[in-house]
């Protein structure tokens, strides 16, 4: 499979303000890529550079191995895009708006629009100016998905959606992946990315600080343990474990965090009688905030791991 997105040393500055710094990133065909960061981290800047809505200060972007500026018309035909600030004519009815947008692309089967609207509980007869933020977001989702593009670029796609519709959106992403489509979705909501993404990139102050699968990011994260012993606790042996922190002992129970593999811990436990053991696997939200507690993003490099 080839690269659908390739960014090389991509940078963008806004006067004295830094938007994006030396971003290297590839997204392959059929991959769901989650792009995480809070507002202002550089997510929307990356997407706008990809679509040639703004121009880079330095570096380059490629979509399907083509320059987004030189081949904009052909590339946009293959892309479904949901902007973070999705805006359409408020006087139109939803169905009219979606039909108009579909016709701009050469037409979309009417059943495709009605099916997506039904799944998202979107009233096609309503005027857009009467819609809530969540329902306007549904219009944006339908227009992005309806023509089954090769690449979906979604900027904060679940903004304003209720939890039930968020699950429908995740189903749509899974179906797109199953059909061979590529999905690049930016978000600050960790759980939705964790549910569907093959890989995750974490961006902080315009720099990519982590890039890997969720599983491999977890392997390098802190795990929390709660262990109850049937006999006395060897506190000194636990305290000597490499990578241990937050150790507390309460009677026969010990609680602590461990930032290394479990091998040394297992060797210590083998010398004792263990009544119970509970290990908590970090979720993506914990990993995200762990990277954001780092004080100097300029000293943090993101190394990509092969995911073949």
Give CA separation, 251 vs 2, 143, 226, in Å: 57, 60, 12
Please tell me the predicted confidence (pLDDT) of residue 305: 42
CATH number for the domain running over 3-213+289-299: 3.40.50.300
The mean pLDDT of the chain is: 88
Average pLDDT over residues 227-256: 93
222-281 matches 3-213+289-299 in CATH topology: no
Average pLDDT over residues 284-288: 65
Of these ranges, 129-138, 216-225, 258-267, the one predicted with the greatest mean pLDDT is: 129-138
Enumerate the domain spans of the chain. Answer: 3-213+289-299, 222-281
Q: Give the pair of three-digit tokens for residue 211.
A: 């890039």
CA 99 to chain centre: 30
Instruction: Name the residue with higher pLDDT: 266 or 189.
Output: 266
CATH number for the domain running over 222-281: 3.30.70
Global pTM value: 0.78
Q: What is the phi/psi pair of residue 239, to 5°?
A: -65, -25
How many contiguous H segments (helices) and E segments (strands) does the chain have? 11, 13
Look up tokens 């609680």; give the residue.
Answer: 255
Please tell me the predicted confidence (pLDDT) of residue 306: 37
Distance CA 196, CA 216 (A): 15
Of these ranges, 126-140, 219-233, 293-307, the one predicted with the greatest mean pLDDT is: 126-140
Please tell me the predicted confidence (pLDDT) of residue 303: 47
Please tell me the predicted confidence (pLDDT) of residue 197: 93
- The string of pLDDT tens digits covering residues 98-126 is 999 999 888 899 999 999 999 999 999 99
């Amino acid at each position: 499979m080839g690269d659908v997105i390739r960014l090389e040393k991509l940078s963008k500055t806004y006067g004295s303000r830094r938007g994006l710094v030396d971003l290297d990133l590839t997204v392959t065909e059929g991959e769901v890529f989650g792009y995480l960061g809070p507002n202002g981290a550089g997510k929307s800047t990356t997407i706008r550079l990809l679509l040639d809505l703004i121009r880079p200060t330095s570096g380059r972007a490629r979509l399907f191995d083509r320059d987004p500026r030189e081949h904009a018309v052909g590339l946009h035909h293959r892309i479904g895009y949901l902007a973070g600030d999705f805006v359409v004519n408020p006087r139109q009815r939803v169905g009219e708006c979606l039909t108009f947008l579909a016709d701009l692309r050469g037409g979309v089967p009417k059943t495709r629009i009605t099916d997506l609207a039904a799944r998202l509980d979107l009233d096609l007869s309503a005027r857009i100016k009467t819609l809530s933020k969540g329902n306007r977001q549904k219009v944006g989702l339908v227009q992005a998905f309806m023509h089954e593009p090769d690449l979906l670029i979604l900027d904060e796609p679940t903004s304003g959606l209720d939890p039930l519709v968020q699950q429908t959106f995740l189903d749509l992403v899974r179906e797109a992946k199953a059909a061979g489509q590529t999905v690049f979705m930016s978000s600050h909501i960790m759980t939705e990315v964790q549910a569907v993404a093959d890989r995750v990139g974490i961006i902080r102050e315009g720099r990519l600080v982590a890039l890997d699968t969720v599983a491999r990011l977890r392997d390098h994260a802190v795990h929390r343990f709660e262990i109850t012993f049937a006999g006395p606790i060897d506190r000194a042996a636990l305290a000597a474990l490499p990578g241990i922190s937050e150790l507390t002992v309460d009677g026969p129970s010990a609680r602590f965090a461990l930032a290394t593999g479990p091998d040394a811990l297992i060797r210590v436990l083998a010398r004792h009688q263990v009544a119970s053991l509970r290990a908590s696997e970090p979720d993506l939200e914990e990993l995200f905030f762990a990277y954001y507690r780092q004080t100097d993003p300029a000293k943090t490099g993101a190394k990509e791991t092969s995911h073949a």
